[in-house]
Structure 1
Amino acid sequence: MKNLFNAKRNLIAITKLTFLSFCLLSFYSCKTKNDEMPSPESSLKSSTVAKTNAVASPNTGVLMGTIDVNGDGVPDNIYNNGSSITVVRSTGVTHQYPISNGSWALLYGDASSIVDLDGVAGAEIPVNIGGSLLIINDRLGSTTNYAIGSGSWAAAPGAITDLDGVAGAEIPIVSGSQLIIITARTGSKTAYPIGSGNWAVVQGATVDMDGIAGAEIPIISGSQLIIVTARTGSKTAYNISSGNWAVVPAATADLDGVAGAELTMISGSQLIIFTAKTASTNSYNISSGNWAVITTGSAGISDMDGVAGAEIAIANGPNLTIVNQRTRSQHNYPISSGNWAVLSNGIQDFNGSPGNDIAISQPGSSNTNLIVVHPKTQSMSTYSGSTLGNWSLVNYTNNSPSGININVHSTTFNKNFTIVDATGSIH
């Protein structure tokens, strides 16, 4: 009887223990579901979930752009609704993101700033909301706010690009005495003190300068050129000139045939080329008179000798000057003491030999010569105005592999001529 009583008591204890375990297990399961740790991505963000509708609202506002922002490969419509931005997907689903009751604007004022910022398919939407930068990630249906400051600020012109060599563009911001770089991929903000004086990011020159993935940011600050490398978190200043000087943005290119672009500057009578990968400058004496790098309407910075690395064409008074950074040399071609001009789109391969040539009109007293300069051989071909008369460019025709032919119309003789530079002939 005693053994039977102990058995019953043990059975009751086991039942209670099982019930208690079940309760504890159920409670633990509930806590795990509701209080799980955030993912590394979400822990980096201060997010707001978007309002979602199953059907697109008929009042969608002003269309700002049509770009894939959710990563499905299909462009989405992005609307300005005053105090909010609405994304309408191709399925008809809408996401509405409250922005501000005050003034706000897309960076650069248009949809060109809506690009991939985190390295995952789908572009993000960066918005200036006053003292902060708001980034909308429609793929996640969230927003992230980055405090910038109470003063005026703006995204550096043409500089929203990959700065650290990891997929996804960074946003460089000019704010007072600082350059601030926003990395949406990591949710980070890095400030680089520049100076209390006037300074500016060189427009169109934020490119890879050291041959390693990730663009550098060039900044003009007084007598110094400052290079910011976000990949290494570094800032380096180079003394250029105490006088007036300027960067030629269109001439930021690979000039020596080694990976990484060079930066081209003008200072008085000198052309200065800065090479970030070697932290060095080379100066070329051009002229004490008026001169300019040819950057409008033609490939004035391009390969002209058939060897890797672009050459720089300069209109230099009566001369055409070609600077070759790879060989650290310059060469003058005497053209005319009068007016002369490079033809529209007149820097191409005209003779079929690797490297571009330069086609020039040289007006005379009664007719106009056509001159083709060949930097590869440091020679010139002149097609006489006595044959062509006064003429105007008609077009170019591809005579591959013998180069590009130049077609002109002679107003003197009322007929068309074709200049075949590969054979030095006029037809």
Structure 2
Amino acid sequence: MKKAVLLSLLAANFCGVYAQDVIVKKDGSTILAKVLTIGETEVEYKKFNKQDGPTYKISVGKLLSINYESGDKETFEAASSKAGKPSGNEEGGNGNIQITSDNLSPEAKAANEKAIAAFNTPTEFVTDNKHKDKVGKKRATLSFAVWGASKNSILANEDVEIDLIIGTLLREKKSEPDEWVVVNPKKSWIVHNPAVRYTIKNKTSRPIYIDLGNTFLISMQQPTCYYIPSSTTTTQGTQSGASVNMGAVAGALGVGGALGTLAGGVNVGGGSSSNTSNTTYSQRVIAVPPMSTKELDAQYLFGKADREICKGFNYRHYVNWDYLYYGQIFFPAEPESAEMKYGDHYRYTEESSPVNLAFTTCYSFDENFSSSKSLSSYYYLKDLIGAYINSNNALVGGINSDKPHFTMIPVKKDKEGTNSFPKP
């Protein structure tokens, strides 16, 4: 019975959002309208909630489709080409180009190799004289998990540069939103809710447009898309949500659909004469201004569900707060030499690393994406360095780098010896 009532409410909300013509633009935004005429180059319309107001015009080249109140749909892909849609960049509408190390220019290849080398700066264990006698003897209870960039990654070309920051997503109460925090190991330590935030730097003198529908974080082969097609309608202090049927999000790395967090929205007026409504739609395309850097939304490094990351590495709800996630690495308790000790430094290669990440994005100089470029970067667990927490709840041990390319992970004993994290 409850399910039937819920479905009825959802249907009512859905009809409330779509009882009008919906103009869908190629940047993912929409206009609630009453369409008047469709010409070869322009569409004339009135805003749905102001049909006695002015008539607006929009170029056909900016449109993806019109979803009519009757249920009919008209698309504009072919019409856009006939209307002389500008290509917007030097590729001249040649579709998508997948950037690899093989098709980089010599200058871009040098920039990419430099970015990878900077990311993979060697990491070493550091301690003070007071604790040197414990190195290799005291059992580690915490580890620095340091990430490396694979040699086939594209971190930079002549247009953009990709970087990541490892941090955590925290909140004091379940009702509050996640707060992004970057951990400085010299000042504090946090071992739960590991998260990642990617940045995209525009190296050119022109705006660059990022397609969030084709931007993914892939953690242990599980993808999270940066775009969710959705809408939220606010009416006299109440909210209702409904999915916006923008069409399927293009697949990437064999993945279709949309998962992850909602991007920033664009406000569009809507409603009826008896009340005032405001509808916010998720934004699929975002712009990075010339010579500037855009931070994407932070994502949980391993999602928000209990899972085994790999053998010997479990990700579970925290004991006291079920909205905090807590990863633990297990090493055998017997023999004693199998345990991880304070100061132990395990070095992994791309081939031997048991944990991996990937990031892929698509960008264009043309907001209509008549031609675009895609690039991917790949990451692996490069170093695991043992530390411990003393009786004063302070971190003992550290690393020689302040670059936040690491995660702090508790180390536990695997008394059974059957679920042990692999040593290199």
TM-score band, normalised by shorter chain? under 0.3
Question: Which structure is richer in relative contact order (CA contacts within 8 A, separation 6 or more)?
Answer: 2
Normalising to structure 1: TM-score of the pair?
0.19
Normalising to structure 2: TM-score of the pair?
0.19
